[in-house]
Amino acid sequence: MFTVFEYRCAFCGFDGLLGGRPVGPEAAHVRLWSYGGSDQLDNLICLCTIHHKLLDKGVFGVSDDRRITVSAGSLPAAPRAASPYSTSSGIT
C-alpha cells in the first residue's frame, strides 16, 4: 500500500522516510474500519500521523472520486484575539 502512495501523506506530502526507511506514513481507512470499511487497497490511503488522526476525527474525509474534503464544522469561526502571553522570554 505504501509503495502505491510512494510513502507520502496524500494530504500534505510528508514522505515519512528517515534514512530511506518509512517511519511516519500510516495506512488509514477511507471508510472507517469500525463502520464496515475493509482492509482492501481501494479503502486505504497513506497519511502522516496528524492527518490520519484528523481523518479519523472527521475533520476531513475522502470523496468517492478520491478528493479530500474538509468538514465545514472544522473551520475556525472567527480570528482569535491576541494572545495574553508575551512572546518575550523576560530573560536578560
Q: Which residues bind Zn ion (CB under 5 A)?
A: 9, 11-12, 14, 48, 51
Cell of 66: 478520491
* CA-to-CA dists, residue 83 to 59, 78, 79, 80, 87, angstroms: 25, 14, 12, 8, 9
Query: Minimum distance between the CB of residue 51 and Zn ion, rounded to whole angstroms?
Result: 4
Query: Minimum distance between the CB of residue 90 and Zn ion, rounded to whole angstroms?
Result: 36
Query: Minimum distance between the CB of residue 54 and Zn ion, rounded to whole angstroms?
Result: 9
Q: How many CB atoms lie within 10 A of CB 48?
A: 21
Query: Minimum distance between the CB of residue 76 and Zn ion, rounded to whole angstroms?
Result: 19
Comparing C-alpha atoms, which of 7, 26, 12, 16 is closest to residue 68?
12
Complex with Zn ion: residue 41 or 50, whichever CB lies closer? 50
| Strands 68-70, 60-62: pairing kind | antiparallel
